[in-house]
Structures are given as structure tokens and as C-alpha cells.
């Protein structure tokens, strides 16, 4: 089974590299114009991760990542609703981006050197600083990694999570049995059914999936964090104009929080005498022109989803996730918008 999975992973990577060499979207050089002409942003998401991107029973999409899709649509089209969400598995995500099936990928994807240099994608600023953890049943009484010796651990294939698990356990000399699945739903269903002793992933994902378990309080996320997982939007390599636009939409949400600009008060800044805020709201300067969008694109972003803190509080705070490193740099966090000048 493992040999088969390895072969499939190798073939998938080969397809991605082949797609990169052709890179149709990059060759056309105009995803921004393509989105404008279509009148709709096509955004690749997880689709089954409450708090980040989740298809609700009424057909609506909710979540932190889904809101960043809406923010980009608002900046380009002035319409937060002009988004087509495409749920993708971990194995599908990069091929979908390379072949132009989606315009941008906002799907809890970790920024790594190999992905940045070999897979043909570019990473926009990190929107969520995460780390890999482990969840176990409280009844097991496990409190640290050493107590997982001999355990079976469920994990999603083709992810940094799978690689981190192997590296960490090897370094600590802990024997374990990986139970690997491609689909995230299968991973957590297997854990809930007792087919493995523990499940590992980004801590935010563990919290999100625990929230929809039949008995969430029966499960605990261990304190140990074994990796850095910077998550954020991803664009195809080579389309700099599109990457710039996505990058500055992210910075716009950081900037708005730094300066106390919210969904409720953004219009009140139209007459601001603060020159940087004036450039942000488009009353002076040509920031919109430089990005290829309307002058008030920053206002459209904030009206669509709010500043970073509002996006976080609406989607992730209900999961019990602390802001932690995801605070503005002015409050000791890692969120830092480049200057709007």
C-alpha cells in the first residue's frame, strides 16, 4: 500500500512539474484580467474545514480562508459575492492551480522551500501562523509524545504533516504506525472510529475537526507543537501582477487592523488627513492603478470582510484558537503590513 501511495505521489509531483513548465496561466500572463473578464474569482479551498473553509448545509461557504477569497474578489470586482469556491484535496491543490482550474489557492497550505522553488507556485504573505500537533482520546491518559510509543497515528498523505510526523518520531526514537489517507474526512472518521490511537495535523485543523465530533470534550490536543506551519494564499509562479494583487489584499487586512479601520467605520476615513491612510482608501495617490484595480480597492476589501482581527474573531475565535503569533506586530505578533506608499 505504501509503495502504491509513493508511486502515486511521485506521479502527481511529475504532473505538477510538467504543468509548471507549460504554466498556461503564467504564459498568458493575465489572471487579473481573466478574473475581470469572467466577472468571478475561482478560489481553491479545503471545503471541509470548519473555521477556515466549509460548505454549509444551506449551500453557503463560511470560514477564514473563504473570507480571504471574498476579499480578493472585492478588490478586483467590487463584489464580495463574485467567488466560485472549488474544494480540493491536498493531492489536487497544486495541479488545480497550475492548470488554471483555480485562480488562487487558499487552502491551509504550508509555505516551504521545496514548494516555493520546485512546484511552480508563489506564496503570498502568511495569513495564519500554525504548528503541527496531536489529538488523542482523553480516556487514553496521554499527555506527551513519548507516551505515543507503539501507537497508530492517522495522518493525511502528501502533506508536510506526514513528513513532519516521520521526522519527529525518528528524531525522538519513538516507534509508531502511520495510518495514511488522502482525504481529510477519511482521516478523522478513522480516528473517531478508533482505527488509530491519535491523529496529527495543524493544531487549527485539529481544533476545527474536533468541533464537529459527536463528543468534542472526549478528545484533547496535546501541548506539544512539532513544526512551524505558515499558511496563506498561493498563486501560480510567473504571474507577478496577480501575485502582487493577492499579496496587497492580505496586507490591506493587516493595515486596517493596525489603524483601527473596520467594516463599520471604513467610510469615515474618506476625509482623513493621515497621508498613508488616504493612499489606502484611494483618496490620494495611485495605489489602485499600480495594482490594476479600482482606486478604492482597500475600502472594498474592508467592507467585504473587515480587518484581519474581524476575520479572525468571526471565524477562528469560536474554535477556541488564541491569536498568539497572529497578532499585529504592534502587539507582539508577526502580522506586519508593508508600507502603503
**Domains of the chain, first to last:** 31-129+231-329 (3.40.190.10), 130-229 (3.40.190.10)
Residues 145-173: what's their mean pLDDT?
A: 94
205 three-class SS: helix
Residues 60-89: what's their mean pLDDT?
A: 97
Residue 314 has pLDDT above 70, yes or no: yes
Q: Where are the alpha helices (DSSP H) in the chain?
A: 2-22, 24-28, 31-38, 64-77, 93-98, 113-118, 160-172, 184-192, 203-210, 240-258, 275-281, 287-291, 297-305, 308-315
Q: Specify the higher pLDDT residue, 98 or 21.
A: 98
- 141/153 Cα distance (integer angstroms): 16
Residue 253 has pLDDT above 90, yes or no: yes
Q: Specify the higher pLDDT residue, 315 or 29.
A: 315
Residues 6+ apart with CB under 8 A from 75: 245, 249, 252, 291, 293, 297, 298, 300, 301
Residues 306-313: what's their mean pLDDT?
A: 98
Q: What percent of the chain has pLDDT over 90?
A: 87
Please report, for residues 132, 143, 168, the alpha-carbon distance to residue 146 in angstroms, rounded to integers and kept in the order given.
16, 9, 11
What pLDDT, in 10s, does the model give residues 183-229? 889 999 999 999 999 999 999 999 999 999 999 999 999 999 999 99
- 221/226 Cα distance (integer angstroms): 13
Structure confidence at residue 315 (pLDDT):
97
Structure confidence at residue 54 (pLDDT):
94
- What is the pLDDT confidence band of residue 3, given thresholds at 50, 70 and 90? very low
**Is there a contact between 311 and 67 (Cβ–Cβ < 8 Å)?**
yes
Structure confidence at residue 129 (pLDDT):
97
Structure confidence at residue 143 (pLDDT):
95
Structure confidence at residue 29 (pLDDT):
53
Residues 6+ apart with CB under 8 A from 302: 252, 253, 256, 261, 262, 263, 266
- 287/46 Cα distance (integer angstroms): 32
Residues 6+ apart with CB under 8 A from 180: 2, 5, 154, 155, 156, 157, 162
Residue 43 has pLDDT above 50, yes or no: yes
**Is there a contact between 107 and 53 (Cβ–Cβ < 8 Å)?**
yes
The average confidence (pLDDT) of the chain is 91
Amino acid at each position: 500500500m505504501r509503495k502504491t501511495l509513493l508511486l502515486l505521489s511521485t506521479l502527481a509531483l511529475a504532473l505538477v512539474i510538467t504543468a509548471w513548465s507549460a504554466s498556461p496561466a503564467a504564459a498568458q500572463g493575465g489572471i487579473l484580467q481573466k478574473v475581470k473578464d469572467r466577472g468571478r474569482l475561482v478560489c481553491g479551498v479545503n471545503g471541509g474545514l470548519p473555521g477556515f473553509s466549509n460548505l454549509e448545509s444551506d449551500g453557503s461557504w463560511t470560514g477564514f480562508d473563504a473570507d480571504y477569497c471574498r476579499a480578493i474578489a472585492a478588490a478586483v470586482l467590487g463584489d464580495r459575492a463574485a467567488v466560485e469556491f472549488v474544494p480540493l484535496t491536498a493531492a489536487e491543490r497544486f495541479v488545480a492551480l497550475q492548470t488554471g482550474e483555480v485562480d488562487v489557492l487558499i487552502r491551509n497550505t504550508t509555505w516551504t522551500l521545496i514548494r516555493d522553488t520546485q512546484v511552480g507556485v508563489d506564496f503570498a504573505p502568511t495569513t495564519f501562523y500554525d504548528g503541527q500537533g496531536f489529538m488523542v482520546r482523553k480516556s487514553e491518559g496521554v499527555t506527551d509524545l513519548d507516551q505515543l510509543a507503539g501507537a497508530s497515528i492517522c495522518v493525511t498523505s502528501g502533506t508536510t504533516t506526514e513528513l513532519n510526523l516521520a521526522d519527529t518520531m525518528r528524531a525522538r526514537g519513538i516507534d509508531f504506525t502511520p495510518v495514511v489517507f488522502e482525504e481529510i474526512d477519511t482521516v478523522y472518521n478513522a480516528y473517531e472510529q478508533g482505527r488509530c490511537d491519535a491523529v496529527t495535523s495543524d493544531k487549527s485543523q485539529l481544533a476545527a475537526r474536533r468541533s464537529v465530533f459527536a463528543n468534542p470534550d472526549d478528545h484533547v490536543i496535546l501541548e506539544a507543537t512539532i513544526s512551524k506551519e505558515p499558511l496563506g494564499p498561493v498563486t501560480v509562479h510567473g504571474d507577478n501582477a496577480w501575485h502582487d494583487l493577492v499579496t496587497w489584499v492580505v496586507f490591506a487586512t493587516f493595515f486596517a487592523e493596525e489603524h483601527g479601520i473596520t467594516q463599520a467605520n471604513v467610510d469615515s476615513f474618506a476625509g482623513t488627513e493621515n497621508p498613508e491612510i488616504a493612499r489606502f482608501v484611494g483618496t490620494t495617490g495611485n495605489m489602485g492603478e499600480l495594482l490594476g484595480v479600482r482606486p478604492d480597492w482597500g475600502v472594498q476589501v474592508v467592507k467585504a470582510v473587515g480587518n484581519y482581527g474581524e476575520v479572525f474573531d468571526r471565524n477562528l475565535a469560536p474554535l477556541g484558537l488564541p491569536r498568539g503569533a497572529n497578532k499585529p506586530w504592534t502587539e507582539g505578533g508577526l502580522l506586519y503590513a508593508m508600507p502603503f506608499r
